[in-house]
Amino acid sequence: MDNIEETQTQVIDYLAKIVGSKPHLDDSLAMIGIDSVAMAEMTFDLEKRFSIKIDDEILDVESVGQLVQYLHERKP
């Protein structure tokens, strides 16, 4: 099982490609430009990238750090 730092690096690198700058863990997804449409598109990429199934709890994720935690907890 990967450690959370690896998940964090993957998520931050992924988001940096999408938003054009490297986000911080405490940045809100809305602040860096991830709205509901972008989140829906990201869901498919993240499911493939992390080999997980994303559920409706993703809607409660508000920050980069929460996204890292959400994905890490669901990794096989």
Domain count for the chain? 1
Whose structure tokens read 């493939």?
A: 48
Q: What is the CATH number of the domain that holds 39?
A: 1.10.1200.10
pTM, to two decimals: 0.92
First CA to last CA distance, the chain: 7
Q: Convert the pLDDT of each residue in 24-66 to its tens digit.
A: 999 999 999 998 899 999 999 999 999 999 999 998 999 999 9
Give me the domain span that covers residue 14: 4-74
Residues contacting 33, CB < 8 A, separation 6+: 18, 19
d(CA 28, CA 25): 8
